[in-house]
Structure 1
Amino acid sequence: MSSSGEHAPDPREITVGPLDLAARVDDALAVQALAFGLTDDEIGVRRHIVQRHLASPSARALGATTEEGRLVGFVYGMPNDRTQWWSTVVHPYLRQEGNDDWLSDAFVITELHVHPAFQNRGIGRQLITMLTDAATEPRSLLSALDTESPARALYRSLGYRDLARRVRFPSAPSPYVVMGAWLPLRRR
């Protein structure tokens, strides 16, 4: 408390807004590495993936920054393209479950990560809802590790449901789940 009896402002006040992901890719990957446990080699691979995605004019990104400008969370995505790698990998799994129609007319959340020290503050929820609120597609897709986790709980609370489980991405040691939600995402 300050001497006037009021609470001092939180020095970690967070602002969510547009992010020039190309300019801050290393900051974003540092957050992802901490949140997702990536090795240096995996970070290098992810850098190339992000740069390739950003070549799409429809890719959009938001960041969560502290007052000092430190990036503590980010999300990016784009309208789905059935010819891109992710779609070609998940398509057979979705088809097997009768959900392959979800690949059409959907906005894909490519990455969503929040620095562990800033999790459980609603930052991830704010990032994903702000990004999908700007989408023109009627629904959204994402993939997540196929385990019960705080991320899966967040996605379910927003209206995402499992469309295909035990999805195997090449070189990923653990299975994933593909989840889908109608837009706009559910609010609390």
Structure 2
Amino acid sequence: MAPLTGGGPRTPAVVVAPVDLAARVDEALAVQALAFGLTDEEIGVRRHIVLRHLLNPGARALGATTPDGRLVGFVYGMPNDRAHWWSTVVEPYLRRAGNDAWLDDAFVITELHVDPAHQARGIGRELITTITDAVDQPRSILSAIDIESPARGLYRALGYVDLARQVHFPSAPRPYAVMGAPLPLRRHRG
């Protein structure tokens, strides 16, 4: 793929391409820790979750790397399965909102994170549009912390809408919103 950014030592070119996330899980979690503010204990728990997720049929991952091979962003996801833990938590919230059908025939964006030093350069947009362009499902769903944030703004710009709000995950200190969008995702106009 073509570089997303370029020029000078402060803004090296970043390339989005498939990545062996299982082999680079510690690098990916270091990016997530920076972007999401994780503790060492949370990183340890998430490491096992990521590795387990990658075993699911249809799981895919992309990375954003600098010319020297440093991972500065990643996304992964999989076709949704109502038996997966995430679905069992969000399903009652979606059902109450009349949106539980979104759990069927959807590709879940499980994680999407970009190193804060590389944010606001189109990397997150390129990661999520590239991964969803390659799936067979007609829609995508995800969860994001239920606050106004650059991430939620990006998702809205891509066509995601709120399907349920104030979703509480066990052990998560803040509520989440579940969002969904038809595929392909909306692109920039102009």
TM range (shorter): over 0.9
TM-score, normalised via structure 2 length: 0.94
Moved more, 47-56 or 86-95: 47-56
**1:112 and 2:128 are equivalent in the alignment:** no
Q: Percent same amino acid at aligned positions?
A: 75
RMSD over aligned Cα atoms: 0.9
**1:173 and 2:173 are equivalent in the alignment:** yes
Query: What's the CA shift string for 1:110-164, capped at 9, x where partnerless?
Result: 0000000000000000000000000100000000000000000000000000000
Moved more, 80-89 or 10-19: 10-19
**1:17 and 2:35 are equivalent in the alignment:** no
Aligned residue for 1:91?
A: 91
Query: What's the CA shift string for 1:70-120, capped at 9, x where partnerless?
Result: 000000000000000000000000000000000000000000000000000
Equivalent residue letter for 1:124: G
Equivalent residue letter for 2:150: P
Unaligned runs of 5+ in 2: 1-5
Moved more, 49-58 or 108-117: 49-58
Matches within 5 A, 1:33-48: 33-48=33-48
TM-score, normalised via structure 1 length: 0.95
Shift of 1:54: 0.9
* Secondary structure of residue in 1 paired with 2:174: coil
Matches within 5 A, 1:123-162: 123-162=123-162
Query: For residues 57 and 86 of structure 1, what CA distance do their matches in structure 2 show?
Result: 16
Matches within 5 A, 1:29-108: 29-108=29-108
* Secondary structure of residue in 2 paired with 1:10: coil
Shift of 1:58: 1.1
Shift of 1:10: 3.3
* Secondary structure of residue in 2 paired with 1:78: strand
Equivalent residue letter for 2:66: T
Equivalent residue letter for 1:141: I
The ranges of structure 1 where at least 4 consecutive aligned residues each deviate by more than 4 angstroms after the TM superposition are: none
* Secondary structure of residue in 1 paired with 2:45: helix
* Secondary structure of residue in 1 paired with 2:16: strand
Equivalent residue letter for 1:10: G
Aligned residues: 181
Query: For residues 167 and 25 of structure 2, what CA distance do their matches in structure 1 show?
Result: 27
Unaligned runs of 5+ in 1: 1-7
Query: What's the CA shift string for 1:24-51, capped at 9, x where partnerless?
Result: 0000000000000000000001001001
